[in-house]
């Protein structure tokens, strides 16, 4: 637990209306994280692995571990060490399919339960592995659903995946298939298409899969409609039963965003209202809103504005251009935000669902960037404007 997190506040509002912080603050609710973990554990018909890249904060890793998460998807030796420091016995899935020889050697020292590959050259590069080590062949399909295309960088086409899977089995390793439908994927049909293709690939390779890893991609609550995680879990289960018939690979999911995003709120402050009505906030795309360069902002139902006393501004929402605090004119959100028309300088802007790919992508450009994390029991209290 870091220095700032030794205090637990009821809500972000209780904290910021008392301390009037001038710097951006990430508010973390372990209760919210616990309930997300429970939703995955109760609803997903398989194993839960956490994609560390989304938020490798030690307090997050500790909270996950304390709530029964014992499998971690790691992308690098540095992430392996972060996990090992918190959970020495954790199962590690090294599912970044491209690694250097040095990275492989380092990872082997820590014991890797599952490696993903999307090319024969990467399988060869792994060298000798303990018999029965799991190798998950990463596949890609032209399937829409996520906010951007994860297949651009990684994944084997089905025709290449078949010989790769055969090669895994012939080397005495345990074959698995993995995929990622794209982050913030709200279309259950994307998982269904992948599961169908995975079954066809396994059949063509004449291989029985040890496991089927359905990736991350599970959406956080950032859109106009609430997310239906259970609906996605049920479609995944039904698709596995339908397409794998008598085979019964263990299902694994490895969410990042879907698990941690909704356990955090980011609270920013209005530094200035420009003469044309644009707002300058104390954080932006070089900080905790880095992702908002590549995806639309959260829907306004996840954003609220408060005055310094902690009272919510309820003016009619109006679109505002948003700049971050740096001297760089690119430091601007790609879309305007609808914010209450009575917003004032020094008000606080609270954005729910900012626990994934935010703190970890924050730079210190121009000396800015959110580095403070405060613990809260809950993330909201006041009624929200719609």
Ligand X SMILES: Cc1ncc(COP(=O)(O)O)c(C=O)c1O
Contacts to ligand X by CB under 6 A: 51, 53-54, 73, 95, 180, 183, 215-218, 254-258, 356
Q: Angle, to 10 degrees, between the axis of helix 101-110 and the axis of helix 77-86? A: 10
Q: How far is the CB of 208 from ligand X (least distance, A)?
A: 23
> Quick one: 79 or 347, whose CB is closer to ligand X?
79
For ligand X, the closer of residues 261 and 339 by Cβ is 261
Neighbours of 191 (CB within 10 A): 25
Residue nearest to ligand X (CB): 216
- Are 251 and 45 within 8 A, CB to CB? yes
- At its nearest, how many Å lie between ligand X and the CB of residue 140? 12
Residue among 153 and 242 whose Cβ is closer to ligand X: 153
Q: In angstroms, what is the minimal distance from the CB of 164 to ligand X?
A: 17
Residue 257 or 302: the one with the smaller Cβ distance to ligand X is: 257
CA-wise closest residue to 136 among 112, 155, 158, 114: 114
CA-to-CA distance for 207 and 227, rounded, in angstroms? 35
Give residue for tokens 């951007």: 148
Task: Enter the tokens of residue 229.
Answer: 């995680």
The Cα–Cα gap between 84 and 47 comes to 19
* Smallest distance from ligand X to CB 173, Å: 19
Least distance CB 180 / ligand X (angstroms): 5
For ligand X, which is the closer residue by CB, 116 or 373? 116
Rounded CA separation 263/57 (Å)? 12
Give me Rg for the CA atoms of the chain: 22
Q: Which is nearer to ligand X, 73 or 347 (CB)?
A: 73
How far lies 383's CA from each of 208, 300, 306, 349, 380, in Å? 52, 14, 12, 15, 8
Question: What minimum distance in Å lies between the beta carbon of 212 and ligand X?
Answer: 14
Q: 110: closest CA among 132, 85, 128, 134?
A: 85
């Amino acid at each position: 637990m870091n220095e700032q997190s030794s205090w637990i506040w009821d809500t972000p509002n209780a904290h910021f209306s008392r301390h009037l912080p001038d710097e951006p603050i990430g508010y973390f609710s372990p209760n919210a994280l616990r309930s997300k973990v429970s939703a995955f554990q109760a609803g997903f018909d398989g194993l839960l692995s956490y994609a560390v890249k989304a938020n490798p904060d030690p307090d997050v890793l500790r909270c996950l571990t304390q709530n029964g998460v014992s499998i971690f998807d790691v992308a690098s030796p540095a992430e392996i060490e972060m996990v090992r420091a918190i959970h020495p016995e954790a199962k590690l899935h090294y599912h970044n399919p491209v690694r250097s020889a040095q990275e492989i050697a380092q990872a082997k020292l820590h014991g890797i339960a599952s490696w993903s590959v999307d090319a024969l050259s990467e399988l060869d590069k792994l060298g000798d592995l303990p018999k029965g080590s799991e190798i998950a062949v990463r596949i890609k399909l032209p399937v829409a659903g996520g906010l951007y295309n994860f297949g651009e960088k990684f994944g084997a086409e089905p025709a290449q995946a078949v010989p790769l899977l055969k090669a895994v089995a012939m080397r005495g390793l345990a074959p698995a298939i993995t995929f990622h439908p794209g982050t913030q994927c709200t279309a259950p049909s994307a998982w269904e298409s992948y599961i169908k293709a995975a079954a066809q690939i396994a059949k063509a390779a004449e291989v029985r899969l040890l496991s089927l890893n359905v990736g991350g991609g599970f959406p956080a609550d950032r859109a106009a409609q609430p997310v239906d995680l259970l609906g996605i879990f049920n479609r995944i289960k039904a698709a596995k039963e339908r397409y794998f018939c008598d085979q019964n690979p263990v299902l694994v999911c490895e969410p990042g965003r879907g698990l941690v995003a909704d356990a955090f709120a980011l609270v920013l402050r209005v530094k200035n209202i420009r003469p044309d009505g644009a707002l300058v906030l104390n954080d932006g795309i070089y900080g905790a809103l880095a992702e908002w360069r590549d995806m639309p902002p959260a829907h306004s139902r996840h954003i609220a504005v408060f005055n310094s006393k902690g009272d919510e501004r309820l003016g009619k929402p109006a679109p505002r251009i948003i700049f971050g605090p740096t001297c760089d004119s690119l430091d601007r959100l790609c879309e305007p935000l609808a914010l209450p028309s009575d917003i004032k300088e020094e008000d606080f802007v609270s954005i729910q669902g900012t626990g994934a790919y935010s703190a970890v992508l924050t730079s210190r450009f121009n000396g800015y960037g959110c580095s403070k994390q405060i613990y809260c029991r809950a993330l909201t209290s006041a009624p929200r404007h719609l």
